[in-house]
Structure 1
Amino acid sequence: MDLVVEGLRGFGRLFLHPLTYFFIMVAYFVGLARVKRERKHFHVRIFDFILELKYLFFPGLLIGLVLSVITLLLGTYLSIGTIVVIGVITFLLSGPFTFRWLSPAFVLGFAVIAALLIPEGGLGTGLIAELVMEAKNMHLPSIVIILALLLVAEGFLIWKYGHKGTSPAMVTSKRGQQVGAHFAQKLWVVPLFVLIPGDAIKAVWSWWPVLTVNDTTFSLFLVPFAIGFSQRIKGMLPIHSISITGKRVLGLGLFIALASVAVFFYPFVSIFIVAIAIFIRELITIQQRMTDDNAPVFFSKRDSGLVILGIIPTSPAEKMALQVGEVITKVNGIPVSHVSSFYEALQANNRAYCKLEVIDENGEIRFAQRALYDNEHHELGIIFVQHHQKRESEVEVG
C-alpha cells in the first residue's frame, strides 16, 4: 500500500519536474511553427496550435505505469548522475522545430557514449565531480533494459497514434515541382519510476520514500522520458507509411529486449547492444525516407478527379466523412479535374445541396452528400493541390 501511495504521489510530482514543463514548451513552439507553415502554404490553419500538446501525456502516462512495474520487478536502477546526463542529452536533442532525435535509442544511446567519453579522473569539483563519476559508472544493464522497454513503447505509440493529426504541406519533388505531403510530429512523455541507490535524496527531503532490498537502500524516483517522432510522407497515405515505421521500431524494441537477457550474464555486451539500437533506429528512418523519395508522388494533380490533401477539423468535409487520399471525381453529377471546376459544379443546380462522387483508397466508388448552409459551398474544408504551368504551385481550399 505504501508503494501505491508513493506511486500516486510520484505522478503528482511529475508536474513539479522541470523537464515536464520543458516538454510542454517544446510541444507548444513546434505547434506554432506548424500553424505558421500551414498558413503559409494554404492560407488557413488546419489544426490549432495545441495539437501537439493533446498527445503529450496520453497514452504515455498509462504506458509509463506499466513499464514502471516491469523495471521495478527487474530491479533496474539509475544513479542521479546518470539521470542528469539523460536530462542534458534530452535537452540537447530537443530541436526547435522537430522531434526527430528524441527516440530512446538516441537519448539513452548518446548518454552511454557521453559516459564512455568521460575521463577516468572525472570532471569538475564538488557536486559536479560526484555526478560526473556517477554517470561514468552508470549501470549499463539497467540502461539496456530501460532502452528496450522504451523502444517497444516508441514502436507502439508510432504504430497506433503516429498517424493521428498529420499536417499537410507542400514540398518540392525530384523534378522541381511543388507536390503535396504530410508531416507527422508527435511528442509523448513516458514517466518511469526507477530505483536510485542510497538515500541521498532522503537526506535532502526527509519525506522521500526509501526502500530496502537485500540490505541495500534505494530511493524511488520518477523520471519523465520523452519519446519524439517526426516523419514526412508523400509517396503513400500517412496511416500506411507511419504504421510501417511503427512496426519496425516495435520489432527493434523486441529484438533489444531479447538481447538484453545477455547483459545479466555478460554486462560488457551492453555497449554493443546500445550501438546496435542507435544504428538500426537511424537505418529505419533512412529506409523510410529513401522509399518515400523513390515512390510516385501520391498527392499530386491527376488527369481525372481531385485528390484530397487535407481535411479541416469540424468542417462540412469532415462531417461528410471524407478522407485524406480519396479522389473526388464528380460534384453534383458534374466531372471535375480542377479546383475551379469544383467550385462551379458545387454551385450548379441546387446550391443548398452537395453530392460528391468519391473514389476511396480501395478504388471503390462511394457518394458523400449533405445539405449546405449559408456560405458553406465556399468553405467545405477540403485541401486540394492545384498546379499552374507558369507560376509557383498553389494549394487551394475547397
Structure 2
Amino acid sequence: MYGQSLIHGLLTLLLNPLLYVGGVLMVWERARAANHERRFFGTRVSRVWRPVFALWGQSLAGGVVISAVCLFTGARVTPVDAAVVTAFTLIFGAIRARQLSPLYGIACLLMAVFGIRISGWQGADTPSAGLLSQWISSLAHTDVKSWLAIAAAVCLLEAALLWFNRSQRPAPAYVLGKRGRPVGALLTQWSFLVPMVTFGPGPNPMPHMPGGVWPLLGAVAGGWSLWGLPLLMGTSGFSITTVPSERALGTAKYMLLAGVLLAADVYAVDAFGLGYVWAGIVICLVAREWTVWRTRLRETKGEPLYAQVPMGVRVLGTSQGSVADEMGLLPGEIITQVNQVPVHSNYDLHFAFEQNPAYAKLHVLDARGEMRIVGKPVYTGERNQLGLVLVPDGGSLTCYRKFGYGLFEVLYAKVATREALPVWVDWAEIESAPTTDS
C-alpha cells in the first residue's frame, strides 16, 4: 500500500511540467552567466554543472523536509488543485521568471476557491456533468488550510535554504554604475527545485490516529494516496553596494516573517472562518515582491563596494583552483604591492608581475583594513593560471547595463559590449579585441 502510494506520488511529480521548466532554467541561468564571463574577462571564471548539482542535492533534501512537514500536518491536495497551481505558476512565469514561485499559483488558487464559495456555485461531481462543472465542484471542496500551510512551509524552507547558502561563492561581474561608469559586482544565483509529496485522493483507507492528532488538517475523503508537486524558490541578482551574504540573510528574514504570518493565518482560518483567507492571499502575493523591492532599494541607495581605489587595485574574484585562489584572495580586498613594487592600477599590477614571474608576493589590505602578506612560487605550468579578476580600472568595458533581482532574474540581464581594457590578470600576453553592442 505505502509503496504503491509512493510510486504514485513520484509519477505525479515527474509528469508535472514545472519540474522540467525549473531544471532547464537552473542550467540555462548558470550557463548564460558563465558565457558572459568569457566576454567580460576573456575566460570562464565560474563553473556550471557542479553548483547546479549541489543546488539540486539541497533541493532534494529540502523536499524531504517539506514533504515530512506536509504529511505530519495532514496537508492534502487534489489533482485539480495541483493542476490549477501549476497552470497559474506557468502563466505568471511566462510573464516574468521570478513569478515561477509557487506562492503566486497558490494565491490564485485561493482566490478561485474563495470566489466559488461565496458565489454558491458548487458545480457537480458526476460522470454526466461537464469538465468545468467537475472542476468547480472539486475547487469548492478545496482545503484552503492545507494550501496556506504549504505556502507557509515554502516560505520557511526558502528562508532556511538562503541562510544555508549565504556563504556560497559568488561570481564576478561588471555592471553599469549610477554615474554611467562600469563598476564591479558579485553575482549570486540561489535557485532551488524542491520536490514536495503529500496526501491526495486515492484508494487506500485513511489510518486512524488516536486523539485526532493526525492529520491536523483533516482526512482525505474516500481514501488517500501520495501526490507530488515541484516547487521553485530562491533568488538571483548582483551585489553592488551590499555583501552577498547580507542580501541572502535579508531575503531569508523576510521569507521567515512571511512563513510565520501564513502559519498564523492557518489558525485564523480554522478558528474564525474563510474570511481570513484573504490575509494569506495578500501575503503570498506581496512577500516575494517586497523582498525584490527592498533589495533593489538597498542596492540603489548605497555606494559601490567594488570600485577603483587610489591606494591599490581591488580584487573582484578569483578562478577556482587558480594561483590567486590558492593564495586566499577574497572579493573586496586591495592589493597594494606585488613583489615589493607598489601598484595603483591594473597596468602597474601587470608590470610588477613581469619583474619576477617565478614568484608572487602580495601585500593585501583585507576588508577589516588590516594588512597581510600572501605569497606563492609560480611554476612554469601555472604562469597562465593566476586567475585574478580586478575591478574596472577606467576605460570602456563589457558590462551588464540592465538587471533585476529575484528568481532567475539573471536571464533578463542585458549586456553592453564595447572596446575593453584587459582585466583578466595572468602572465600571458594580453590582447584586446573589438566587440559590439548586444
TM range (shorter): 0.7 to 0.9
**Counterpart-to-counterpart distance in 1, 2:104 and 2:147:** 12
Q: Give the gaps of 5 or more residues in structure 1.
A: 203-208
Is structure 2 residue 65 aligned with structure 1 residue 66?
Answer: yes
**Counterpart-to-counterpart distance in 2, 1:95 and 1:367:** 51
Within the candidate set 159, 172, 177, 1:155 is matched to 159
What displacement does 1:260 show?
2.5
Is structure 2 residue 287 aligned with structure 1 residue 260?
Answer: no
Q: Does the C-alpha gap of structure 1 residues 8 and 85 become closer, same or farther in structure 2, counting only changes over 3 Å?
A: closer
**Counterpart-to-counterpart distance in 2, 1:390 and 1:281:** 35
Counterpart of 1:282 in structure 2 is 289
Aligned to 1:296, the other structure's residue is in SS state: coil
Kindly provide the amino acid, as one letter, of the partner of residue 272 in structure 2: Y
Q: Does the C-alpha gap of structure 1 residues 231 and 195 become closer, same or farther in structure 2, counting only changes over 3 Å?
A: same
Counterpart of 1:167 in structure 2 is 171
Whether the 8 Å CA contact 1:315–1:381 is kept in 2: the answer is: yes
Q: Does the C-alpha gap of structure 1 residues 34 and 389 become closer, same or farther in structure 2, counting only changes over 3 Å?
A: closer
**Counterpart-to-counterpart distance in 2, 1:70 and 1:81:** 22
Q: Does the C-alpha gap of structure 1 residues 318 and 130 become closer, same or farther in structure 2, counting only changes over 3 Å?
A: farther
Whether the 8 Å CA contact 2:361–2:376 is kept in 1: the answer is: yes
Counterpart of 1:369 in structure 2 is 375
Counterpart of 1:331 in structure 2 is 338
Is structure 2 residue 110 aligned with structure 1 residue 112?
Answer: yes
Q: Does the C-alpha gap of structure 1 residues 220 and 366 become closer, same or farther in structure 2, counting only changes over 3 Å?
A: same
Whether the 8 Å CA contact 2:240–2:304 is kept in 1: the answer is: yes
Counterpart of 1:234 in structure 2 is 240
Aligned to 1:101, the other structure's residue is in SS state: helix
**Counterpart-to-counterpart distance in 2, 1:94 and 1:56:** 20
Counterpart of 1:310 in structure 2 is 317
What displacement does 1:99 show?
5.2
Kindly provide the amino acid, as one letter, of the partner of residue 31 in structure 2: L
Counterpart of 1:206 in structure 2 is none
What displacement does 1:69 show?
2.1
Identity of aligned residues (%): 25
**Counterpart-to-counterpart distance in 2, 1:138 and 1:104:** 17
**Counterpart-to-counterpart distance in 2, 1:85 and 1:50:** 32
**Counterpart-to-counterpart distance in 2, 1:381 and 1:229:** 27
What displacement does 1:56 show?
3.9
**Counterpart-to-counterpart distance in 1, 2:24 and 2:292:** 25
Aligned to 1:158, the other structure's residue is in SS state: helix
* 155-164 or 307-316, larger mean C-alpha shift: 155-164
Is structure 2 residue 364 aligned with structure 1 residue 344?
Answer: no
* 269-278 or 2-11, larger mean C-alpha shift: 2-11
The normalised TM-score by structure 2 is 0.78
Q: Does the C-alpha gap of structure 1 residues 244 and 297 become closer, same or farther in structure 2, counting only changes over 3 Å?
A: same
Whether the 8 Å CA contact 1:159–1:244 is kept in 2: the answer is: no
The normalised TM-score by structure 1 is 0.85
Whether the 8 Å CA contact 2:336–2:365 is kept in 1: the answer is: yes
**Counterpart-to-counterpart distance in 2, 1:12 and 1:352:** 59
Counterpart of 1:205 in structure 2 is none
What is the CA deviation profile of residues 16-53 of structure 1, one whole-angstrom value per residue up to 9, with x for unaligned ones? 65433332222222222212322222222122332552
Q: Give the gaps of 5 or more residues in structure 2.
A: 124-128, 209-218, 398-417, 426-438
Q: Does the C-alpha gap of structure 1 residues 196 and 395 become closer, same or farther in structure 2, counting only changes over 3 Å?
A: farther
**Counterpart-to-counterpart distance in 2, 1:277 and 1:373:** 56
Query: Larger relative CO (CA 8 A, sep 6+): 1 or 2?
Result: 2
Whether the 8 Å CA contact 1:171–1:181 is kept in 2: the answer is: yes
**Counterpart-to-counterpart distance in 1, 2:311 and 2:155:** 43
Q: Let me know the Cα RMSD of the aligned residues.
A: 3.1
* 366-375 or 251-260, larger mean C-alpha shift: 251-260
**Counterpart-to-counterpart distance in 2, 1:236 and 1:264:** 41
Whether the 8 Å CA contact 1:237–1:325 is kept in 2: the answer is: no
Aligned to 2:266, the other structure's residue is in SS state: helix
Q: Does the C-alpha gap of structure 1 residues 378 and 132 become closer, same or farther in structure 2, counting only changes over 3 Å?
A: farther
Aligned to 1:141, the other structure's residue is in SS state: helix
